[in-house]
Amino acid sequence: MKILLTGAAGFIGMHVCQRLLSRGDKIIGIDNLNDYYDVSLKEARLAKLSQHPNFNFACIDIANRIDVAKIFEQQRPECVVNLAAQAGVRYSLTNPHAYVDSNLIGFVNILEGCRYAKVKHLVYASSSSVYGGNTKVPFSEVDSVDQPVSLYAATKKANELMAHSYSHLYNIPATGLRFFTVYGPWGRPDMAYFGFTQAILEGRPIDVFNHGQLQRDFTYIDDIVEGVVRVLDKPASLGLGVAHNIFNIGNHEPIALLDFIETLEKVLDRKAIKNFLPMQSGEMQSTHADTSKLEEWVGFSPNTSLQLGVEKFVTWYHSTYKRNNQGAG
């Protein structure tokens, strides 16, 4: 299968590419390699992917309508996996236009490409952030998501509405995936677990928001990839109304932030210096995924334990940043 995958140099994008390439798919990867975080990490991910003969890369910003239209016209992908987005809740407080450009304008450009190329399936990244101010747990796909508490969440809700309308208007099978706090090797440095690891190894304090009274449904990257690939292979049928599905992909076992930090301390064999702070604007107090709909559709639900996932991340971190950690005491 020929697949256009956006955000190929990203954390989830790289892992999904690897999985699809390993089974024989041809991947056209695109990414704008922006400097939201360390570009060298994105380049290192691309270097791994570029070793595969079925991977081709183009440096494209999905907000550029002309470039996106050209890549669809030239490549004519059968399916699209849209993982490109401006990520991060806190950054949306200081740079809202980046979210409009990538998550709204960019997503419309992808939808238009899918429309004219008549793709067989569009799979796109949504987020657990859409549940916003919801208090009912676990979060279910049938719950109302009309109370976003960040611009990032609002753009992801908008993506779901846009995809639904294009699916209805142009018979494009589409699936939105609400990811829950993804972590693991090759992860994003702006994520809390990554920053915690750096700080603990260097003996610096870590900022713990809401005085530690937070819960997250931490989901290991391999489980995310498994869910993405299984869903990609099973689009909604056009004969059953609008061919648009939405699924949660989370570990359905929320972990208290302080318990996560304790697990990280044990794996690193070092204690964290905690700097307790108030709740930050735009953050959710708790996330908890109901994954029964995903399991019913593709026969899979994430199941990697926190202990195993943290161990794998720390092993990767040491191997990647060992030169920086030699003097940490």
- Domain map of the chain by residue range? 2-181+220-249, 192-216+253-287+303-325
CA nearest to 55, candidates 22, 103, 92: 22
- Mean pLDDT over the full length of the chain: 92
Residue 290 confidence (pLDDT): 92
CA angle 175, 179, 185 (to 5 degrees): 125
| Per-residue model confidence (pLDDT) at position 326 | 43
pLDDT at 239: 67
To the query of whether residue 152 is one of the catalytic residues in this protein, the response is yes
Q: Average pLDDT of each block of 10 consecutive residues along the chain (329 residues)? A: 97 98 98 94 97 97 98 97 90 91 97 97 96 87 92 96 96 96 95 94 91 87 98 86 92 90 95 87 78 96 95 96 50
Contact between residue 257 and residue 251 where contact means Cβ atoms under 8 Å apart: no
The pLDDT score that the predictor gives to residue 240 is 64
- Give the pLDDT score at 329: 30
CA dist., res. 198 & res. 188, Å (int): 12
Model-level pTM?
Answer: 0.92
The CATH class given to the 192-216+253-287+303-325 domain equals: alpha beta
Instruction: Give kind and range of the element (H or E) at residue 176.
Output: strand 174-179
Over the range 221-257, which residues count as b (16 or more CB within 10 Å of their CB) and which as e? bbbbbbbbbebbeebbeeeeebbbbbbbbbbbebbeb
Report whether 6 contacts 84 (CB < 8 A). yes
> Rounded CA gap, 50 and 56, in Å?
7
* Burial status of residue 325 (CB atoms within 10 A of its CB: 0-12, 13-18, 19 or more): middle
Annotated active-site residue in 36, 131, 152, 317: 152
Read off the pLDDT of residues 117-138 as tens digits, 9 standing for 90 and up. 999 999 999 999 999 978 888 9
Residue 55's SS3 state is: strand
Distance CA 52, CA 145 (A): 40
Helix (H) or strand (E) holding 248: strand 244-249
Query: At which residue do the structure tokens 């953050």 appear?
Result: 283
pLDDT on residue 328: 38
Q: How far is CA 305 from CA 62, 221, 240, 245, 260, in A?
A: 35, 12, 36, 27, 12
Q: What does the pLDDT look like over 256-287, one tens digit per residue?
A: 899 999 999 999 999 999 988 887 776 777 78
Q: Distance (Å, rounded) from C-alpha 254 to C-alpha 291?
A: 13
Domain 2-181+220-249 has CATH 3.40.50.720: yes
